[in-house]
Structure 1
């Protein structure tokens, strides 16, 4: 009886033990996202807030490290009309392209939290700007993905965009979004 109970407990432990959703080398991820962006303009009393849409591609270099790339387009203000008393520093749109490296922190069953850093370029457009303003900087990326199936994942992501060449005028720019992706190459 004791042997049967021991074998049953061992079988049960193996059956309910978490399975790895391991990030595999040479795995590709392609996806879309949507959420909210928040831009702080130095000479404006309120934050500029609006929707953001993203397209991303990730290539898993090793089990832990990945190449990440992301393009995003945000509407940060509905209206910013040029007027004599309004500074020429308030965009209505921000388009960004970033590439960099990420690290899968750990894989817990089907959950894959990650962090990363990307070099990026942004174009601030519209609003009270006289012309398109190009900036260069970095993005700090964090998020978590959930593997719904071996070839489809859902996730949530947060980005802090540091517009280094215009940091004084635009001290903070954040985005948060939900994302969906297809996965292949396993």
Structure 2
């Protein structure tokens, strides 16, 4: 990726980029840390961002690198970004459904123990993730069937701000 950006900038020095990746600095594996150190060498320090802080109904902790604005400015903007305190996962659930109560605050403090859930745990691309097993925090109670289940595709789309059936069209 770095080689591609470097090459593209030789052709067009004004080329802007935005790169997003998992927060590798939080991973304790030696090889992951080695790769993260190399990425930082080429791209600098990332902006560490939780999408829930910016209004998402699901946490998604990610690193962002860009040459479109200085990191200090991005950090300042993020510091003063205020999430709407009225956002609740219950607003985007299917009829006759409710979410797990908050038991443990996440990375960005959208959820408070004893108050309505503001954001789900991060979504993953496969069913059966730990947040959706047992009594995981991402489960949804379906009152009609009296069962706990993963968020439906429509609930996931609403959480991410997509229009209905957007993800079904990606196949």
Give the TM-score of the pair, scaled to structure 1: 0.27
Structure 1 or 2, whichever has the larger Rg, is 1
Greater relative CO (CA pairs within 8 A, separation 6+): 1
Give the TM-score of the pair, scaled to structure 2: 0.29
